[in-house]
């Protein structure tokens, strides 16, 4: 396996790891906020900031597996690279052309109304915010 192919694989895997970790960290922050609120209300001690921070470093075990398999089949690493690039492009296009996929229900309703040229009336906006 050439060095350039190895570097390309590493870049793609790192990029995929980074985007996945952003999604997981956003969910973790919401869970931690709710847990801290519960602890405050029940009189339990709130976790310190140092205990909350998690490690988001890329583990290169996936890359090592690809390299080990590529020793037997030289085209395997190239196919993996093409697949990873296609996955990244697919995710980009999905986010670009389906912007409502990654938002909550309230925002999805507002975007649906705007798609057909409408704005939500104030009373509906207030009702959605209360829910």
Please provide the distance, in angstroms rounded to a whole number, between the alpha carbons at the two ends of the chain: 56
pLDDT tens digits for range 109-130: 888 888 888 887 776 666 666 6
Confidence of residue 51 (pLDDT cuts 50, 70, 90): very low
**Which residues have CB under 8 Å from 46's CB, separation 6+?**
36, 39, 40
Question: Cα separation of 20 and 95, whole Å?
Answer: 14
pLDDT tens digits for range 58-76: 667 777 777 777 777 778 8
């Amino acid at each position: 396996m050439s060095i350039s192919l190895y570097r390309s694989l590493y870049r793609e895997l790192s990029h995929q790891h980074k985007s996945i970790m952003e999604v997981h960290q956003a969910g973790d922050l919401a869970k931690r906020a709710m847990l801290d609120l519960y602890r405050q209300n029940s009189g339990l001690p709130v976790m310190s900031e140092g205990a909350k921070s998690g490690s988001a470093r890329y583990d290169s075990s996936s890359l090592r597996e690809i390299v080990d398999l590529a020793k037997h089949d030289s085209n395997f690493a190239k196919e993996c690279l093409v697949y990873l690039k296609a996955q990244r492009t697919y995710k980009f296009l999905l986010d670009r052309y389906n912007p409502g996929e990654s938002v909550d229900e309230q925002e999805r309703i507002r975007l649906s109304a705007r798609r057909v040229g409408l704005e939500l009336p104030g009373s509906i906006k207030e009702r959605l915010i209360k829910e």
